[in-house]
Structures are given as structure tokens and as C-alpha cells.
Chains A and B, each alone.
Chain A
């Protein structure tokens, strides 16, 4: 329900805009568009010693997409690519109509997106930054090669 969508947590996350800005020398950059509305995210990643060492993003999008990118900006650095892919999976699961994961994510802010599950047309808004993150990791550290 939209009353829940625009509660303070999501607005605050979006306003914080963690991780905004581009990296000077990323290992991979990905730009993804939301075909529904034309929103766009460009996300840069840099890896070192098998972990994400730096991340930057530019988002031209709605509150939901900005908030999702901000959550990534807050937590992703220091994580392994495998862990980040798992978090993206948690977000996908959260948005399924039958509910989210049984155990809360290590990224507690993800729970703020739970109300979006009921609004199918907005799933892509939340997922776009996570898809960009996974695509950037795939480019910089293909699955199976990130250990």
C-alpha cells in the first residue's frame, strides 16, 4: 500500500543517497534502464582481494530506486561477490507475492521494501540497482571466479 511505501524509512534512505558518484577507475560499469518509466542507473564496482572495494552509482529514478541504490551504497563495500548476489536474491524473494525470506537479511533496511511486494509494477524500481550490481559483478568477477 502506498501509505507504507512512502514511510519515513524509504524517504530517509533515498535522501541519504549512500554511494552516489562515479568511480575514477572502476573494474566494471553497468547502466540499466527501467523500460517502464525511462529511469536509469549507472553503477561502478571495483574489486580487491575477492571483495568489493569501492562502489559508485548515479541514479535518475523514483524514491524506491534511489532508496535501493542507497542501501547498496551503505552495505556493499567489503562484501564478496557471492554474498552480494545472495542479497540480490533476497530482494527478489522479498518481492514475491508469497512473502519474503524466512530469516531477515544482514542488511536490515531491505525489510523497508516489503510493502512493494504488493505492487507488481514497482518491483522493477527496487530491483534495478540490484540487477545493475549483479551485472557489474558479472562483468568484473564472473560467477565461480570470485573466490
Chain B
């Protein structure tokens, strides 16, 4: 669909019933999209339609409803593949979310011992093999690798972050050596909004034969991808950040890698033949989907990706860039040169998502968010599951506004007005509060 820029948010907002509600008597200004985005009516309808016309388990029974459910489930897999530019639905594994997808890789690729000849990508990592992450990562792309380190004795290295919240890729030559087996990085930061220069990462990894995993939790909502062109090996994202439901996510991986990887979880659906003595496993993707999958959620995710693909991406990106600029300029104006408001992330619009994190000297993020909630403004405060990044900047947390295509200038202005109120109530900059906040 194509919109004139000024009509874009109004036309989109009408598709999101939740955005019409009030909070504390105020219009809702939902700016926590990096945590969870809202679902358009078409996604809600797709889920409701599935649950009321085709609810059944998938890939098991032969009755009418089971056939309909299986068809809907596999069509959603195909939609995911189209969205990712993959083209091969079998490379799409449904998971519980982005965290589940990364953990799947940490176990199946990390622990390995796949069905291949022992020399393939499913052979697993061993003592001394290296995995490169970064200080910019969400805990979901840190902890699974620390756990793998405990299991397998790998070496975990971390790429530093620049002062403006970007990956410092100048360290790639130093950190990607002959023992590097995997580079696992965020595609875009959930705190700073910085988008990773994937080409540089892939080039460094390929030079030593390492695989590349991208955590696409934040980036995936911002338009269809072309993963083969990106050159990565694994891509993970979640449904609830891509205008879809909770409880579902996707791991995409190259077919030859998936084929050589052992399963992560065991149970129904992921088998070829089970005896008391042993089990042989199904082909991907079902090898990695033990038990009843999140069927309606997968259907909803397919509808959400279809909805995103229908947007005028250029118009959406221009709209979000303008709102981000408005927010950054508004924060600077509010600060009035006092140096109280500090943006943790790029101050420009180059290669960044509409995610803006900031600190306010003398005011805690949770106190700010609590006061803004009374203005109807939904923000996130805290460490954003990125404590190493907080340590990097010497802070405990930030206040974060994360925008989606349905946000408008009114949302930004409400945030800025609420923040001005919060700073006044918390006596920021008066020297009178004496609070010891970060």
C-alpha cells in the first residue's frame, strides 16, 4: 500500500485497534516497539480465523481440520521464507522466539555431533574454538554462548562498542582468527539502534571459514530481507517484535548446515523412527520442531510478515527517520545545553533504527517511565537485557523510545512534554534533589 507521507501514520494507526485506547485518561502513545510491537487487524483476524475454522494439531492427523491446520502452518513457513528472501521454506524453523532460535544454534551447532561425516558444520565446537559476540548484544545472544563455553570449553570473545554505540569493526582483524568458528552479532542494537555493517562482518568471518549468525530481533520488523545477499548462515527473529503474536520466532539457516545439525529438543514430530533402543531423526525443518509447535502463532506471524511486505517501505523508512530526527532534536532542545540528557547511541540518522536511548542526570529511567506512563506514553526503562553495554557506558540503565510505522509526531511531542514534566517533578538540574541516581 502507498501513502502520502503525512497520511501514513493515520492510515496505519487505523489498522491497530489497540492504539485507539486510552491510558490513565490520556491517548496512548506507544513507544515500546522494541519490546513488543502491536498487531494490525489483519493479523488478529488471521489468528482468530485459524482458531475458529482450522484449529487442530499439525502434521499428524488426516482429518479435514488437521489438513487445514497443516496447510496454514506450512504456508506461514513459506511466507517467512519469502520475507527472508530465502525461497526455500525448509530452511525456516519455527521456534518459541528469537531466544529459542539462538539457543537452538548454540546447542545444535555448538554441541554438534550431527548426522554427517564428522567434518561438516554439525560436528560441533570444541575446546579452544572461538565464538565472537559483542558488547552490544542482548543477553539472548550472550548467555547461550557462555553456557556453551561451560559445556564445550570454547573461547568467547567480544567485539567492543564505539562511543556512539556502534560495533567497533576495526577490531575484527584482531578478534576473528583461525580458531573462530562463529561470529554471532546483533543485526541492530535494541539499545542504541545502530545497524551492523554485515558485509564487513561476513567478509572477516569467511576469511577464516567461520559461520555468521545475526540476531535480527530488532531489525526484522523493518522490512523484507535478502539473507542470501547478506551472506549470513543463521538468522533469528521473533514474532512479537514484527507485528505478530508472542510465542513464536524463526531460525533461518542455510540448508546444508541445518541438514548436518543434530536436533536440539527431542519429542514427537522431530523423528523418523523410534525404537526403545534408538531414534532416527526427521529432515529439517521438522527435526528442530519437537512437540506441538505454536501453530496459531505461526499463522499470525505469516500474516504479519505479509502485512509488512505490503507496506511502502521507502515511505515508512522516511517517516521513521523524520520522527527519529524530531526526537533527537527535541531531546537536545529540552536539554538546553546543560548536558543533562545524554543519548546512548548515534546522534545522526546514518545506519540506525528508530530506537533512541538516553539518560537524564539525576533521574532514574524507571522514575521517568513511571511519570511518562501517566501521560499515556509507553517507554522502556532499565538495562534492556544488555548489561554489558550498560557497563561499557558506565550506567545502570537508560530510558528508551522505540518507534514503529504507526507512530506519529504527536507521540514524539507527548514524550517530550512528559519528559519535561518528569524532569521538573524529579527536580532534575535544580541541584535540590540530592538524589544519587545514575
Chain A residues close to B by CB (< 8 Å): 1-3, 5-6, 11, 14-17, 20, 36-40, 59-64, 66, 119, 122, 125
Contact = CB atoms under 8 A, between A and B. Distances in A.
Contacts of A37: 365-366, 381-383, 396-397
A63 B371 contact: no
Nearest to A10: B367
B134 to A, nearest CB: 19
Contact of B435 (A1, A15, A125): A15
Contact of A36 (B382, B426, B435, B437): B382
Contacts of A2: 370-371, 373-374
A2 B421 CA distance: 12
B383 A62 contact: no
Contacts of A66: 435-437
Contacts of A59: 436
Interface of B: 24, 364-367, 370-371, 373-374, 381-383, 387, 390, 396-397, 425-427, 432-438
A11 B382 contact: no
B141 to A, nearest CB: 18
A133 B383 CA distance: 25
B366 A125 contact: yes
A64 to B, nearest CB: 8
A60 B396 contact: yes
Contacts of A62: 364-367, 437
A120 to B, nearest CB: 13
Given A38-B397, A39-B396, A11 B366 contact: no
Contacts of B426: 6, 11, 63
A62 B364 CA distance: 5
13 contacts: A2-B374, A11-B427, A11-B433, A14-B433, A16-B434, A20-B436, A37-B366, A38-B382, A61-B364, A63-B367, A64-B367, A66-B435, A122-B366
A119 B370 contact: yes
A55 B271 CA distance: 61
A6 to B, nearest CB: 5
Contact of A6 (B425, B434, B436, B437): B425
A38 B371 contact: no
A34 to B, nearest CB: 9
Contacts of A119: 370
- Chain A CB count within 10 A is highest, among B24, B366, B371, B426, for B366
5 A-B pairs with least C-beta separation: A37-B382, A62-B364, A15-B434, A38-B383, A38-B396
Given A2-B374, A37-B366, A15 B433 contact: yes
Contacts of B434: 14-17
Contacts of B24: 1
B374 A1 contact: yes
B26 to A, nearest CB: 12
A36 to B, nearest CB: 6
